[in-house]
Amino acid sequence: MVDMNASGEYTPESDLFMRIGGLQRLMAEASIDWAIIYENVNRFYFTGTMAKGIVAVPVNGEPMLFLEKGRERAKGETPFSIIPVKNEKEAGAILRNAGVSEGVTGLELDVLPVSAFERMKRTLGIGRAVDITPAIKELRIIKSAFEIDQLKKAGHISDGVYRAARDLVREGVSELEIEAALVATGRRLGHHGGYRMRGINQEIMMMTIQSGASGVIPTFVDGPLPGAGISPAVPHGSTFKKVERGVPVTIDYVAGYNGYHADETRAFVAGELKEVFRKPYETSKAILEDAMASGKEGVDCTELWERAYAMVKKAGLEEYFMGHGESQVSFLGHGIGLEVNELPVVTAKHKRVLKEGMVIALEPKFILPLHGAIGIEIDVIVRKDRLERLTENPIELVQV
């Protein structure tokens, strides 16, 4: 077994076999004969290892792990048999003999580059290709007990970072100074060191801090509070701007443990909060309190959106909810797990009934273009009779 030095945990064999079985069930329903898993996160999800290679899953039978690198490590991480290969061509020879050319093969078409798609069709002998991503997303939307435990451990790191922030946010200190100290705190608490998002051109920072004007500048990130950043090449994230008295400081932090992520936001203020921010903050808090009171298994995601938006309209804040102008986004929340942007999404249009085991980040935020931004984000686990907080850190505005 690989020495993890107490820094991570192996995925239980029962989880891995359940995931493969679930994928095969969905493949059978869609008349897919083979699934080829190429993307790192999906490969880890189904096998427990991120060693370099591909995973071929037949609709019936054991998965085939064709690994080019990291085979010795993988032996201690996955219960499945490993087939050593030098390249995809060697894997292709085996798959052709297994009949992949005659069947329908599912590929991750949402993330697979066209060049890789064409190469894999040629080298692996794939005949007809279809998208396997919808099936994979359906499986990943419900978290096992093991996964929820990993997410809670990421949440524990988040709690520690926000506790430390109470002593670091001060008038006159720059956003970047605060971020540097807090990211270091998270690493000392066991943060795995990065984050993952699904999709081309999807980028975020591990932490983004905004205060005043830095929180209202739009960029390419599909989120309400990307931050202005310090470079046109990386135009999002914290800046050199210093904390001002009465202006809220929002800290959006993606904590990570053993591949799993917690994504939360808290608001701080030096001195008394300026009046212009008070109603947006109270509305954000009220939306989350209402979601905690009304959410549970069986509730549709659109209902959560509708209840939230009704409160936004009552406060007269529609123009500033989840962005402003061209930067406004149309979601209230999103799933989290091995990637930060998973299913379900909480919007007005995406109907999805909540089921136990879903884990969602809810993030009501407001951007006031002449003043700054404020909001809160919490992660919740869907239970049969309630929503359970993933973290313990209070959501109240922190005055420093």
- Tens digits of pLDDT across the chain (400 residues): 344 444 569 999 999 999 999 999 999 999 999 999 999 999 999 999 999 999 999 999 999 999 999 999 999 999 999 999 999 999 999 999 999 989 999 999 999 999 999 999 999 999 899 999 999 999 999 999 999 999 999 999 999 999 999 999 999 999 999 999 999 999 999 999 988 999 888 888 899 999 988 888 877 777 787 788 889 898 888 999 999 999 999 999 999 999 999 999 999 999 999 999 999 999 999 999 999 999 999 999 999 999 999 999 999 999 999 988 888 888 999 999 999 999 999 999 999 999 999 999 999 999 999 899 999 999 999 999 999 999 999 999 999 9
Beta carbons of 341 and 325 less than 8 angstroms apart: no
Asked if 77 and 12 count as a contact pair (C-beta separation under 8 A), the reply is no
Tokens of 30: 């869609």
> For helices 13-29 and 40-47, what crossing angle results, to 10°?
110
At 43, list the tokens.
């490969």
Distance CA 352, CA 354 (A): 6
Crossing angle between the packed helical segments 88-98 and 114-124, to the nearest 10 degrees: 50
For 231-250, the DSSP string reads BTTB--S--SPBP-BTS-EE
Distance CA 211, CA 74 (A): 45
How many Cβ atoms from other residues are within 10 Å of residue 383's Cβ?
Answer: 15
Q: Report how far apart, in Å, the C-alpha atoms of 332 and of each of 238, 386, 399 are.
A: 23, 18, 26
Helix 145-165 to helix 175-188 angle (10° resolution) is: 140
Name residue 128's beta-bridge partners: 104
Overall pTM > 0.85: yes
CA distance 393 to 182: 15
